């Protein structure tokens, strides 16, 4: 083996007499732009040997690429030959299909020490998560690079690598799939410790990844190469080309499906690679190979794949909840900003609904049952369900949260209820108290946590909310806007209280336990006098307003359509249209037959009731 032959392979013509960060970075960037990350040997009937001489011959002389145990092994030899202080490390890669880290070490990376500072050097991850520069081993510091912002987080001696991604512009969106165009903003990459490793420790991993039916490298043929402005990737027959930061902090993603006869030409022209043996492309799911297709129960992001399978005992998991509400950010701190984002995702994903009562189903006030219904069955729930679930989620995330009880205002009676009939949450952040209520629904659903302060207007997109405190009792109300109702199909003549101020509920700050609401939960399902018995209700907040289905009446509201005026559009549905509307507008598919109900004499839509 010869270092100059390696330099010729990666087209490096710079100096290498100084053992500094600039030289290390230059060599590293030449490597990742010349040597592809690829597993094509597995799909050509070739065995990948964990041997330095074999790796050198394959990558340097045959001008092939390799996976991490080849790329980084070769790179470690190069850097050691030049005199760098290099250590092999082992990591466990994050597996998106399982939403978990691997059980065993399955990735090789390098630690390089320069001037008493440690850097992670990894030329063998490939795709869009390939770092372009050595990364200083420091916890919690954003390290911006051309592909995006990388960072390490250290916890009890375990280091986590993650990448903050940009938005993507995909001109040919129709050919994209979740396999190569991911929606999350922050992507976990892998975890590792600083325990030094020897190459022999990766022998079992090297063999396993070439043969295991659930191995990513068995289920997908992969070839990716970093370019001067992005990355190319060929997964199966799908060629993806990404140009980083194409415009306005957005990556350009172009995708093309290749024919069999185009594969060889593409490998040669795009990846500078000619194979010795016939290549058989593949791109399947490793979940299929495990005969497991229900991915409705991902694990906590820092557990392992084995834990994934043991989780199917019904255990609740915060990452699964996040997936349900389409929350993809990296949760860091239990602060107001994160609380607001999670809350908004919750109310825009989980409808306020009482449809179980009108499908012959019993609503159980049990956290596991609520979790299964809302998270796994993708249903909604009323306040006792939605806020109970949110209470659990916020506790899991470290928030100081407690349950409160409220007395709803009854417009028809022009009075508050005598008994508690609503659950809400109080969250304390840095000494300030906030009311968090994801379970009121309709046009009186707040879109942000509300600071618990008396007499102060708190403007939000739905309108102006405020609290009034009187002798320890808090009154919650909303300043309403006018409504513009084109082609009004349902009269508002029987809608009580069309004034400017709408009372919503009262409450005290006495902490409650969920079991305090068991009797209420039963009463609301059987009492013929409750609005929940008299109306089948489903409402969901949207990005600009809300949808509401009450009986057969479907209402769409767009807030502030004109200055201080909300647009309200009302449609009366047929029985056949109700099921389709639930699916299309609320993403709800019921297991049992719904019997819509909307007792007349009460407001026919949700705008002025809930």
Classified as helix, coil or strand, 534 is helix
| Residue in 195, 219, 215, 194 with CA at minimum distance from that of residue 204 | 215
- On whether the CB atoms of residues 345 and 394 are closer than 8 A, the answer is no
CA–CA gap between residue 403 and residue 516 (Å, rounded): 10
Q: Is 336 exposed, middle or buried (0-12, 13-18, 19+ CB in 10 A)?
A: middle
In which element (H, E) is residue 334 found? none
CA–CA gap between residue 357 and residue 538 (Å, rounded): 12
| Residue in 345, 300, 333 with CA at minimum distance from that of residue 319 | 300
Active site residues: 68, 107, 122
Classified as helix, coil or strand, 203 is helix
Q: What is the 3-state secondary structure (H, E, C) of 463-520?
A: EEEEEEEECCEEEEEEECCEEECCCCCCCCCCCCCCCCEEEEEEECCCCECHHHHHHH
CA–CA gap between residue 411 and residue 407 (Å, rounded): 13
CA–CA gap between residue 592 and residue 173 (Å, rounded): 36
CA–CA gap between residue 251 and residue 237 (Å, rounded): 22
Strand partners of residue 466: 477
CB under 8 Å to 57, separation ≥6 — which residues?
A: none
Tokens of 543: 């990005």
Tokens of 459: 């403007």
| Residue in 244, 235, 239, 52 with CA at minimum distance from that of residue 132 | 244
């Amino acid at each position: 083996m010869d270092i100059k032959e390696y330099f010729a392979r990666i087209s490096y013509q710079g100096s290498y007499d100084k053992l500094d960060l600039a030289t290390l970075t230059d060599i590293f960037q030449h490597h990742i732009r010349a040597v592809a990350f690829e597993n094509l040997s597995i799909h050509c009937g070739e065995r990948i040997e964990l041997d330095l001489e074999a790796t050198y011959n394959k990558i340097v002389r045959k001008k092939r690429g390799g996976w991490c145990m080849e790329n980084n092994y070769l790179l470690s030899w190069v850097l050691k030959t030049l005199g760098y202080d290099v250590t092999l490390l082992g990591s466990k890669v994050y597996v998106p299909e399982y939403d978990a880290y691997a059980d065993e070490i399955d990735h090789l990376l390098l630690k390089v020490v320069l001037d008493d500072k440690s850097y992670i050097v990894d030329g063998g991850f490939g795709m869009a998560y390939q770092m372009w520069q050595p990364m200083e081993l420091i916890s919690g510091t954003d390290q911006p690079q051309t592909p995006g912002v990388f960072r390490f987080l250290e916890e009890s001696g375990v280091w986590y690598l993650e990448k903050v991604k940009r938005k993507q512009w995909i001109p040919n969106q129709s050919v994209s799939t979740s396999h190569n165009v991911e929606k999350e903003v922050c992507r976990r990459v892998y975890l590792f410790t600083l325990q030094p490793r020897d190459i022999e420790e990766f022998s079992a991993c090297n063999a396993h990844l070439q043969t295991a039916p659930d191995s990513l490298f068995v289920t997908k043929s992969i070839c990716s190469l970093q370019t001067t402005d992005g990355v190319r990737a060929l997964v199966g027959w799908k060629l993806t080309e990404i140009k980083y930061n194409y415009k306005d902090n957005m990556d350009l993603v172009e995708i093309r499906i290749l024919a069999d006869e185009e594969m060889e030409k593409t490998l040669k022209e795009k990846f500078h690679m000619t194979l010795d043996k016939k290549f058989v492309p593949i791109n399947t799911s490793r979940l299929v190979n495990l005969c497991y297709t229900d991915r409705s129960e991902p694990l906590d992001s820092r557990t392992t794949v084995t834990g994934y399978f043991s989780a199917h005992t019904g255990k609740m998991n915060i990452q699964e909840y996040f997936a349900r509400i389409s929350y993809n950010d990296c949760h860091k701190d239990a602060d107001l900003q994160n609380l607001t984002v999670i809350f908004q995702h919750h109310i825009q994903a989980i409808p306020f609904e009482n449809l179980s009562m009108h499908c012959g189903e019993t609503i159980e006030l049990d956290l596991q049952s609520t979790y299964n219904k809302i998270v796994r069955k993708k249903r909604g729930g009323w306040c006792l369900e939605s806020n109970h679930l949110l209470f659990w989620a916020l506790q899991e995330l470290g928030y100081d949260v407690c349950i409160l009880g409220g007395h709803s205002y009854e417009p028809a009676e022009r009075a508050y209820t005598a008994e508690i009939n609503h659950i809400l949450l109080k969250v304390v952040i840095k000494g300030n108290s906030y009311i968090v209520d994801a379970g009121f629904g309709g046009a009186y659903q707040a879109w942000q946590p509300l600071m618990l302060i008396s007499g102060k207007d708190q403007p939000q997109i739905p309108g102006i909310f405020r609290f009034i405190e009187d002798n320890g009792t808090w009154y919650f109300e909303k300043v309403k806007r006018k409504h513009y109702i084109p082609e009004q199909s349902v009269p508002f003549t029987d809608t009580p209280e069309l004034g400017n101020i709408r009372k919503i509920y009262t409450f005290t700050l006495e902490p409650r336990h969920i079991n305090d609401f068991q009797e209420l939960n039963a009463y609301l399902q059987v009492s013929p006098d409750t609005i929940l018995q008299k109306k089948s209700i489903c409402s969901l907040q949207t990005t600009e307003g809300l949808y509401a289905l009450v009986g057969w009446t479907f209402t769409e509201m767009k807030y502030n359509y004109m200055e201080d005026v909300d647009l309200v559009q009302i449609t009366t549905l047929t029985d056949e249209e109700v099921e389709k509307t639930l699916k299309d507008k609320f993403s709800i598919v019921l297991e049992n037959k719904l019997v819509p109900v909307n007792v007349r004499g009460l407001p026919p839509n949700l705008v002025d009731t809930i």
